[in-house]
Structure 1
């Protein structure tokens, strides 16, 4: 099917636009400054989630080392529920992009109002109860594990709801405030964790109860219930958008990193010769804070100096720290602090990388935020389950056979998986396409830039449409489905617009769109 070109858009015809977020962010998404509500709320969300998932957190009991009697069932159940809900939300967003209920309200468990309130209240109550149960537990019983699992189910609902809501808020920001907010928040979470651990049971209970409520309050400040509007025009009911290759690569790389990090983390707990003393946990989190803060500060300073956003800095650093942690499993079993710091630093930096890349996918390709953030972080939670389960199976196998030195092989296999993710699943050449220089444009600016270039070089209406999709990194397959034209027609339009713009590759196209200014 083809479409007759015309020199200019016909009446009623518009070029595709990048949707704004699914929420109306009142603390502005266009100012250069960092919205305080995003900084505070996202920090509380990250700290609360990681506090409940980490082995050294407040769910640690005194029955066995590692606190597995309460922590492990809670951990597994919460992640399983969060995985199902996030992937379900991503699937729904893929089938019904922007589909609204009567009155324009967003459907789903993460919607504003009563559904979100219920999710957060459940999660908060479960987290607080879990901390108290872990502190009081003195015997391993089936009832205790069942209780921990039930609390984990409720907490998992809160994890998923927060992830989707913060994904929508982050997606509504311009890159600079988004990157600064996420970078600062993912550093600040560690002092919050350190204070909660150092303060004893009262501080742990207070953190489990207060952090999600503060995050919820910030969400309310950013997106009032009345502004819970749709971002994208609804498509035909039942229409399924094709899987985005970039999103799949991001999720695949995050799966490898998260599974290995969780696997090595669990192996350190189960196989370490000299486990880290509980009295040093608060110091561990402060050390992680110092390392992550240093990496983030240096990376942002280099971006400022070179006037270009370079997400690969965080990606490289995460790979480096993950490799150090894997090597430390075998090389430094009697000195666990270094591997612990490496594990947590790798986790913090890969999270910063993936949140930024998910933002880029939403910005550049106009993907529904629920689809991007729900899909990516649903896969991450699934990876945590996979890594945790693999370590537990290995622990059982080693106790059964006994005496076989498996740690060197574990280290080698873990590094190999990380190298595969870093070099093949999401190599830097692909990473650069997802953090291009044109992200310095805001959402409206990218459309304006495309339209100005199209008018300047005499592109037809259909060529302008194809140009606008190519500027967002869309491939030929996606464009033909969106515009209802054949692949040959898309290639013909692309060839013609390349000739008119005097370019030869999509990278040259991105460079042409790029604004001359650097980071604001």
Structure 2
């Protein structure tokens, strides 16, 4: 009887945990994240908006080039001036201006096909405006996903990637005007879902003008070195992977003539991508959320890199075997890259969660390199196409370049050791979640290291004499620390402090 009751209680507890993971606010943040992801796919990975223009592909390439350069430059400036950006990022006007600017830039793209000066101005204006606004829009998600607990963050990211691939598959059948309206509404719609999720979960408890803690590097030298090492590993790996992916994708798209071909051909590719990404989302989510060791995530990482290598090695195959379609190799290439991106989002936001006082600079630095990779890959691909026709030797050379880049990334940049170090920053046990909540409260409200130690012990129910003995402090010193803690947290009793820490965990 006792065993049966215990089993029922554990089942009920698991059910409640699952309901919390799949709660409406968490899913809402995932939908908002999907809106941000699908905007890029809609605007720059199909000719939906530019389909009726005489030089639609050339115009899209020009807008994309300007946009990605603007995004990279904006993220670099955010990383350099993160302390100044902190003060304006979470303000109410910025929450409206950024998605509205992204929508306006999308409508401007519809005018890029106008002949003459007006079309040229529209190309430049839409490229710059979309690049700057999308960079800030990404920063919102970097901060929001860093505020979420690990499992909720994984659910939101997996939801976003699954939703974005489904929405993009449907988008391919729209007319140019319908495509423009659909792409333009994604940012405002995402902002609404994000606002609902953030405020329902109470992720921003401070004043509207100061939503983030002061941004500074960790005080501990070992933690500072670890953060710099992980930031460099993330940046270099995503730069290299971005080059390999975009180079191979550019050549695949040209071989398959998807830009000028039937929509159904490219939609077929997207159906395969959607299926693989959805399965990959569930697999990565389970591996990262439930693994008690790094073995599961390492297997997922190896498989993702393996499929990326398969995608690039198949690059010359359609020319060697004329009857072979480019649909499946392109689908493998796209799906594996999206799965790797999803995994990197989880790991990057987990790192930002651990070093929250450095989250703006860390996230902006990595995303800057993340954006620069596809830009370099596209330029190399366009250069190869401009030099002559697609030939087997050219494709073999491109495949070799991509494979070498991927192997360099896996062997020297983001290795399994780096993956293990990143996973160690993510708490999985109840004790780990408690320590993480205390750390985040201390960072958010500006507690010193000693005040954090005192807060943790009081939150555990330790008495004042016990803390005196444990920390080798006098009674008056402990009392002074407690008073400063209460003032900074805006509480008056120990129970109110514990409630605040508990809300952080929820």
**TM-score normalised to structure 1 length:** 0.70
Say whether the 8 Å CA contact 1:77–1:150 is kept in structure 2. no
CA shift at 1:429, angstroms? 1.7
1:155 to 110, 130, 140: 130
- State the partner residue of 2:268: 283
Quick one: structure 1 residues 219 and 412, their matched pair in 2 at CA, closer, same or farther if it must change by over 3 Å?
A: same
CA shift at 1:165, angstroms? 0.5
Say whether the 8 Å CA contact 1:163–1:373 is kept in structure 2. no
**Please, what is the CA RMSD of the aligned residues?**
3.5
CA shift at 1:76, angstroms? 0.7
Please tell me whether residue 216 in structure 1 is matched to residue 191 in structure 2: yes
Distance in 2, Cα, partners of 1:410 & 1:61: 31
- The structure with the greater share of residues assigned to helix is 2
Say whether the 8 Å CA contact 1:317–1:349 is kept in structure 2. no
CA shift at 1:230, angstroms? 4.0
Please tell me whether residue 120 in structure 1 is matched to residue 99 in structure 2: yes
- State the partner residue of 1:107: 87
Say whether the 8 Å CA contact 1:73–1:145 is kept in structure 2. no
CA shift at 1:234, angstroms? 5.7
CA shift at 1:435, angstroms? 1.5
Say whether the 8 Å CA contact 1:70–1:145 is kept in structure 2. no
Say whether the 8 Å CA contact 2:255–2:326 is kept in structure 1. no
Of stretches 179-188 and 277-286 in structure 1, the one that deviates more from structure 2 is 277-286
Say whether the 8 Å CA contact 2:158–2:281 is kept in structure 1. yes
CA shift at 1:440, angstroms? 1.6
Quick one: structure 1 residues 431 and 72, their matched pair in 2 at CA, closer, same or farther if it must change by over 3 Å?
A: same
Deviation per residue, 1:238-269 (Å, 9 max, x gap): xxx87711111011101111111111111223
Quick one: structure 1 residues 56 and 205, their matched pair in 2 at CA, closer, same or farther if it must change by over 3 Å?
A: closer
Distance in 2, Cα, partners of 1:281 & 1:403: 23
Quick one: structure 1 residues 297 and 32, their matched pair in 2 at CA, closer, same or farther if it must change by over 3 Å?
A: closer
Quick one: structure 1 residues 80 and 234, their matched pair in 2 at CA, closer, same or farther if it must change by over 3 Å?
A: closer
Say whether the 8 Å CA contact 2:215–2:360 is kept in structure 1. no
Say whether the 8 Å CA contact 2:309–2:403 is kept in structure 1. yes
CA shift at 1:46, angstroms? 1.1
Q: For residue 87 of structure 2, give the secondary structure of its aligned residue in structure 1.
A: coil
Quick one: structure 1 residues 49 and 427, their matched pair in 2 at CA, closer, same or farther if it must change by over 3 Å?
A: same
1:385 to 349, 369, 375: 375
Quick one: structure 1 residues 58 and 340, their matched pair in 2 at CA, closer, same or farther if it must change by over 3 Å?
A: farther
Say whether the 8 Å CA contact 1:44–1:211 is kept in structure 2. yes
Deviation per residue, 1:166-224 (Å, 9 max, x gap): 11100000000101110121111011111111233354123212211111112332446
1:78 to 67, 75, 82: 67
- State the partner residue of 2:252: 268
Q: For residue 329 of structure 1, give the secondary structure of its aligned residue in structure 2.
A: coil
Paired residues for 1:17-416 under 5 Å: 31-34=20-23, 35-55=26-46, 57-60=48-51, 63=54, 67-93=56-82, 96=83, 106-108=86-88, 110-130=89-109, 132-133=110-111, 137=113, 144-223=119-198, 227-233=208-214, 244-271=228-255, 277-301=262-286, 306-307=291-292, 310-333=296-319, 334=322, 335-398=325-388, 405-416=393-404
Deviation per residue, 1:469-506 (Å, 9 max, x gap): xxxxxxxxxxxxxxxxxxxxxxxxxxxxxxxxxxxxxx
Quick one: structure 1 residues 284 and 61, their matched pair in 2 at CA, closer, same or farther if it must change by over 3 Å?
A: farther
Say whether the 8 Å CA contact 2:245–2:377 is kept in structure 1. yes
**TM-score normalised to structure 2 length:** 0.71
Deviation per residue, 1:136-170 (Å, 9 max, x gap): x497x776455223211111122111100111100
1:422 to 401, 410, 416: 410
Quick one: structure 1 residues 42 and 303, their matched pair in 2 at CA, closer, same or farther if it must change by over 3 Å?
A: closer
Please list every run of at least 4 consecutive aligned residues from structure 1 whose deviation after the TM superposition is greater than 6 angstroms.
none
Quick one: structure 1 residues 72 and 362, their matched pair in 2 at CA, closer, same or farther if it must change by over 3 Å?
A: same
Of stretches 402-411 and 372-381 in structure 1, the one that deviates more from structure 2 is 402-411
CA shift at 1:88, angstroms? 1.2
CA shift at 1:449, angstroms? 9.2
Q: For residue 244 of structure 1, give the secondary structure of its aligned residue in structure 2.
A: helix
Q: For residue 440 of structure 1, give the secondary structure of its aligned residue in structure 2.
A: coil
Quick one: structure 1 residues 254 and 235, their matched pair in 2 at CA, closer, same or farther if it must change by over 3 Å?
A: closer
| Number of residues of Structure 1 aligned to a counterpart in Structure 2 | 407
Quick one: structure 1 residues 290 and 81, their matched pair in 2 at CA, closer, same or farther if it must change by over 3 Å?
A: same
CA shift at 1:424, angstroms? 1.1
Say whether the 8 Å CA contact 1:299–1:313 is kept in structure 2. no
CA shift at 1:415, angstroms? 0.6
CA shift at 1:63, angstroms? 3.4
CA shift at 1:394, angstroms? 1.8
Distance in 2, Cα, partners of 1:155 & 1:287: 29
Q: Which runs of 5+ in 1 are unaligned?
A: 1-29, 101-105, 451-460, 469-519
The higher-RCO structure (CA 8 Å, 6+ apart) is 1
CA shift at 1:397, angstroms? 2.2
CA shift at 1:314, angstroms? 4.3
